[in-house]
Amino acid sequence: MKRTRTRGAGPSDARLRTLAGWLREWTLDRALRDAVCAAGAAGPAPAARVASISYTDVPAVADIRLLHPDVSPSADRPVHVALLDRAASGFWLAAPFGRFSNPASAGEWKTGRRTAALRVLCLWNARWMPPGAVLRSWRAGRLTARERGSALRVLESWREGTLPDAHLRARTGLPVVHPGDPRRVYEDEETRMMDEAAADPDDRLQVASGPGTPPGGVYEVPDSEWQKAAEPEKRESGDFRPSGPGCPRRP
């Protein structure tokens, strides 16, 4: 009789490959940014020429919106958000799309879309955005009803520190556990971007120059960094506390 092998409850090989892919993207992104700075090419971004484009459509739940550059001026890329809900106060629950093709953590969900800017939705970084900020945006697409429902379920699971259904979990990353995990640097940068977007316009400069600066360039991922990112502990049992800013209460 052939003996069958049983596997533990640890992360799947596919999700470990996703983590490895994210680390490669992060490493390349850091190296390119450091190379630009070293070459002296870094400087103030030119003013975006958007004056001739008017805001002709009214935002709606399930919209994918491209934010005006002034809404998050320190962002180093165009910021697309998905509008997941709207409160009676007029505030919008908006989750940004990520800059990489692989989800970084359990709060990031791979949408399955081919458009580079819309491949991963970062539910952990969702914010209630003021109406004025969302009005200064352009529709770039729409979530389907299934996409919106899946995104909300991943968000709810992440906030509660539980595991979503298996078919959703397969398209998320592994949770961040170790305090030295390199993904925490990435989360700090992305948090600041959305803090700006959700802030009162008079507070944006203070948010952009907030405490802390990212560490120096990362040109390769040492074994120790990989071990911190892939540390199992209790990540797959559902008994973990999510990292990141969390989703504020409905305004």
Mean pLDDT of 215-240: 44
Question: Letter for the amino acid at 57?
Answer: D
Specify the pLDDT at position 6: 41
Grouping H, G, I as helix, E, B as strand and the rest as coil, residue 85 is: strand
What's the distance, Cα to Cα, between the start and end of the chain in Å? 62
Cα–Cα distance, 46 to 105 (Å, whole number): 33
The pLDDT assigned to 200 comes to 77
Residue 197 CA neighbour count, 13 Å, CB half: 32
Distance of CA 233 to the CA centre of its chain: 23
Q: Is the pLDDT of residue 57 over 70?
A: yes
In the chain, % helix, strand, coil (3-state, to 5) comes to 35, 15, 50
Q: Which DSSP state fits 51? A: T
Model pLDDT, residue 34: 79
Query: What pLDDT does residue 251 have?
Result: 73
Q: In what order do the strands lie in the sheet with 63-67?
A: 127-129, 92-96, 80-86, 63-67, 137-142
What CATH number should be reported for the domain whose range is 13-35+56-237?
Answer: 2.30.30.110
Q: What is the pLDDT of residues 114-161, one digit of tens each?
A: 999 999 999 999 999 999 999 999 999 999 999 999 999 999 999 999
> Is pLDDT at 179 greater than 50 in this prediction?
yes
Output phi, psi for 19, to 5 deg.
Answer: -60, -45
Task: Tell whether the model's pLDDT for residue 55 goes beyond 60.
Answer: yes
Which amino acid, one-letter code, is at 167?
H
pLDDT top residue among 242 and 90: 90
pLDDT at 195: 96
Torsion of CA 113, 128, 215, 159, to 10 degrees: -80
The pLDDT, as a whole number, for residue 222 is 41
The CA-atom distances, in angstroms, between 22 and each of 26, 56, 83, 229 are: 6, 37, 25, 10
For 185-218, how does the pLDDT look when each residue is reduced to its tens digit (9 = 90+)?
999 999 999 999 999 765 554 444 444 333 333 2
> For residue 229, what pLDDT is reported?
63
Mean pLDDT for the chain? 80
Listed by start position, the domains of the chain span 13-35+56-237
More confident call, 137 vs 251: 137
Answer with the residue of higher pLDDT: 5 or 93.
93
Residue carrying the six token digits 């697409």:
141
Q: Which pTM does this prediction carry?
A: 0.76
Q: Diameter of the chain by CA atoms? A: 74
Other CB atoms within 10 A of residue 167 CB: 8
Q: How far apart are CA 6 and CA 55, in angstroms?
A: 57
Cβ neighbours for 47, distance < 8 A, ≥ 6 positions apart: none
- Residues whose CB falls within 8 Å of the CB of residue 53, separated by 6 or more in sequence, listed in order: 138
Provide the sign of the torsion angle of the four alpha carbons 207, 213, 216, 220, taken in this order. negative
**The two structure tokens encoding residue 174:** 């592994």
The helices-and-strands tally (H runs, E runs) of the chain is 7, 7
